[in-house]
Structure 1
Amino acid sequence: MGHSQAEKAATRERVLRIASRKIRSEGISSLGIADLMKEAGLTHGGFYKHFASRDDLIAQAAAAALAEGSAKMERSARKNDEDPRAGLVEAYLAKQHRDVPATGCALVSLGGPAARGDAEFKDAYEKQVRTYLDLIAGLDDGAEDARAKAMLTLSALVGAVLMARAVADKDFSDELLETVTAQLT
């Protein structure tokens, strides 16, 4: 007796969700199909019922990870009614974002792989960059230089989180987040 299409779709989404978190926290190269499927409660053989290849899974998981961030960014901006841009900056540069990459912004964790990736991967990454730029620029109420400021802001946000995750000294990591937050707000 086979699974219904709805069950198959739900299973596929569960695998994608897990893979999306794993590639953000552990990187693309460490994603193993057997471990992924075990974590999803499935057998290794079931993988090919949902994905054509490991590369297919990675492309779809990366796209899902990138797209997941849009809703988070919009929610962050709505946290501060008086200054939505400050709300977004403060949420993005929070220590929790630094400390939990599995659910964090994929622009940070997937920038390097996207730079070395194929056209499909680059397109998904670029789409998310453009989406974030539009969101951030929209917070500046039609300012003439809103797009330029959005590019600077997004670059500072992504760079600050990347560096804060990469340095060994926790106090220095905190200082990076706090200083960039103060400069952007």
Structure 2
Amino acid sequence: MRYKSGYKEQKRQELLDISGQLAKKNGFNATGVDGFMKAAGVTSGAFYSHFSSKNDLFKALIENELQHSIQMWQDNPHDEPSQWIDFELNRYLALSHVEQPDRGCALPSLASEIARSDDEIKQAYQNELIRGQKIFLKYLDSEETAWAVMCQLVGTILMARSVTDTDLKRTLLESSKKSIKALIAYSATE
């Protein structure tokens, strides 16, 4: 059967997007190839026409997910640094991001699995993470502050997802916003 030009690339992207949502919600290692393919509406046999192994899928998924995050940061409508960071704090540190991991950033959901992965996966993650950090650096003017803000954002979402009380989730989100703003203000005076 012949497919239209670009069909395979389009199907691969669909598989990555759906697999990313499932992995962020349930965990990558907890979901088998059959589970990913079932969610995508294709047979498990179709998996191997797109990926050589589950590890290959994980690497591609990480790159895809982090590229989505990078694109969101690049699409931030503000150029002025304080407006840019306020926009990102409000977007990232939102209750909806806590409660819908399948729709959010892969970092809080998958970082612990990445940490237990092989060096090829870690390198793919590192490459995209550094690309993202450069965007933060552009607006924060300090390498250390950019890394610290990214770490605090991810850690806050992870902690907020780990508690049941909605008021506590909101407290974690708001206290982190204040802490990040204080860090940025302090860094600007150094």
Same fold (TM over 0.5): yes
SS in 2 for 1:139: helix
- Paired residue for 2:10? 10
- Paired residue for 2:188? none
Q: Deviations over 1:57-102 (max 9, x none)?
A: 12211221122110112334x2585621111122111111111111
Tell me how far apart the structure 2 counterparts of residues 74 and 152 of structure 1 sit (CA, whole Å): 19
Which is worse superposed, 16-25 or 41-50?
41-50
- Paired residue for 1:167? 163
So what's the TM-score if we normalise by structure 1?
Answer: 0.88
- CA drift of 1:174 comes to 1.1
Tell me how far apart the structure 2 counterparts of residues 182 and 79 of structure 1 sit (CA, whole Å): 20
- CA drift of 1:38 comes to 2.4
Structure 2 residue runs of 5 or longer lacking an equivalent are 182-190
- Paired residue for 1:28? 28
- Paired residue for 2:101? 101
Q: Residues 79 and 98 from structure 1, CA distance in 2 versus in 1: closer, same or farther, beyond 3 angstroms? A: farther
- CA drift of 1:5 comes to 4.6
Is residue 133–residue 151 contact of structure 1 (8 Å, CA) maintained in 2? Answer: yes
- Paired residue for 1:49? 49
Q: Which amino acid aligns with 1:20?
A: G
- Paired residue for 2:179? 183
Q: Deviations over 1:5-48 (max 9, x none)?
A: 52122112111111111111111112222232222222222222
Tell me how far apart the structure 1 counterparts of residues 86 and 137 of structure 2 sit (CA, whole Å): 13
Is residue 94–residue 177 contact of structure 1 (8 Å, CA) maintained in 2? Answer: yes
- CA drift of 1:129 comes to 2.3
- CA drift of 1:183 comes to 2.2
Asked if 1:37 is matched to 2:33, the reply is no
- Paired residue for 1:92? 92
Q: Which amino acid aligns with 1:35?
A: G
Tell me how far apart the structure 2 counterparts of residues 20 and 98 of structure 1 sit (CA, whole Å): 16
SS in 2 for 1:180: helix
Question: What RMSD in Å do the two structures reach over aligned CA positions?
Answer: 1.8
Tell me how far apart the structure 1 counterparts of residues 62 and 4 of structure 2 sit (CA, whole Å): 26
Tell me how far apart the structure 2 counterparts of residues 152 and 95 of structure 1 sit (CA, whole Å): 21
- Paired residue for 1:154? 150
Q: Residues 80 and 164 from structure 1, CA distance in 2 versus in 1: closer, same or farther, beyond 3 angstroms? A: farther
So what's the TM-score if we normalise by structure 2?
Answer: 0.86
Q: Give the number of aligned pairs.
A: 180
Tell me how far apart the structure 1 counterparts of residues 14 and 105 of structure 2 sit (CA, whole Å): 19
